[in-house]
Amino acid sequence: MSATALAKVPPPLESLDASPRLPARAHTVPGRRLDPESQSWWVRLHGAEPVRGRAIVELHERLRREAWFHIRLRTRGISEFPKSDLDDLAVMAADDALLAILRKLDEYRGDSQFWTWARRFAQLEAPVSIRRRLGRDRLANDPEYTFSLPDPSCSPQERAEVQELLRTVSGAILSQLTTRQRTVLIAIGIDGVPAATLASELNTTPGAIYKVLHDTRRKLAAQLAAA
């Protein structure tokens, strides 16, 4: 885990209050009976040091491996992607996933095994790290960056036509869509993030995600038809 991420890890609840406490009790998810592994994660991540610290390190390593797998899978066909960056990107994705998990830890309700729930955060952060590495995050503020790399297979006229179409699409994305609509469109339409994974990260339901995506596509189609 990077030093920056470690500095951002929130302290256990016990450290925020110096008042006397009753003897510690095992933390449990209200109304749920967890499987042994999930219960172990829950108790250790809510525990005192050094138990909590060791659990965080273990969880980060599992998130790193999960992120590495998805980054490797997604970049296999990208010739310009430097394979030497895989490990660094996996660590960064794991850092972000871990911080998100610790922030949302008390939202875990035991509907699935803890690792099934936690690994979704790494799956979500993996394409984000790839997009950052390739510079695609600049699209939101610099649409022209998308068109700076010409396709050698296109003629100058074809390239101009494609660039004009892409400028129209980018303009519609930036001017007509809300931040949430852009987030959903990029995550699902470009990065291929599953709706369930994105819904978990955005604290909503897959149905709501599909509704946003439907409205987004309809809005873009109307804008392009009027262009």
Least confident of 82-91, 101-110, 158-167, 198-207: 158-167
Q: pLDDT above 90 covers what percent of the chain?
A: 20
pLDDT at 134: 72
Co-location of 116 and 33 in the same domain: yes
For residue 24, pLDDT beyond 80: no
For residue 186, pLDDT beyond 80: no
pLDDT digits (tens, 9 = 90+) for 36-82: 999 999 999 998 889 999 999 999 999 999 999 988 888 877 776 77
Q: What is the CATH number of the domain that holds 221?
A: 1.10.10.10
* One-letter amino acid for residue 11 of the chain: P
Co-location of 111 and 153 in the same domain: no
- Residue bearing the bigger pLDDT, 215 or 23: 215
Co-location of 123 and 158 in the same domain: no
Of the residues 76, 109, 134, which one is the last residue of a structural domain? 134
- Residue bearing the bigger pLDDT, 168 or 121: 121
Co-location of 26 and 114 in the same domain: yes
Co-location of 89 and 191 in the same domain: no
pLDDT at 32: 64
Co-location of 226 and 119 in the same domain: no
Co-location of 120 and 171 in the same domain: no
Of the residues 111, 134, 157, which one is the last residue of a structural domain? 134
Distances (CA, A) of 193 to 33, 125, 172, 206: 30, 9, 22, 12
Average pLDDT (9-17) is 44
Using pLDDT thresholds of 50, 70 and 90, give the confidence band for residue 107. Answer: confident
Co-location of 14 and 56 in the same domain: yes
| 134 vs 144: CA distance, rounded Å | 15
**Mean confidence (pLDDT) of the chain:** 75
| 63 vs 88: CA distance, rounded Å | 13
pLDDT at 114: 93
* One-letter amino acid for residue 212 of the chain: V
**What would you measure as the largest C-alpha separation in the chain, in angstroms?**
76
For residue 193, pLDDT beyond 60: yes
Average pLDDT (3-12) is 50
pLDDT at 14: 42
Closest by CA to 136, choosing from 175, 94, 182, is 182
Least confident of 139-148, 163-172, 194-203: 139-148
Distances (CA, A) of 221 to 51, 112, 146, 217: 53, 37, 20, 6
Of the residues 100, 134, 168, which one is the last residue of a structural domain? 134
Co-location of 127 and 191 in the same domain: no
Co-location of 202 and 95 in the same domain: no
For residue 109, pLDDT beyond 90: no
pLDDT digits (tens, 9 = 90+) for 123-164: 888 888 887 777 654 444 444 444 444 444 556 676 676 667
Co-location of 125 and 19 in the same domain: yes
What is the residue range of 211's domain? Answer: 135-227
Looking at the structure of the chain, the number of domains it has is: 2
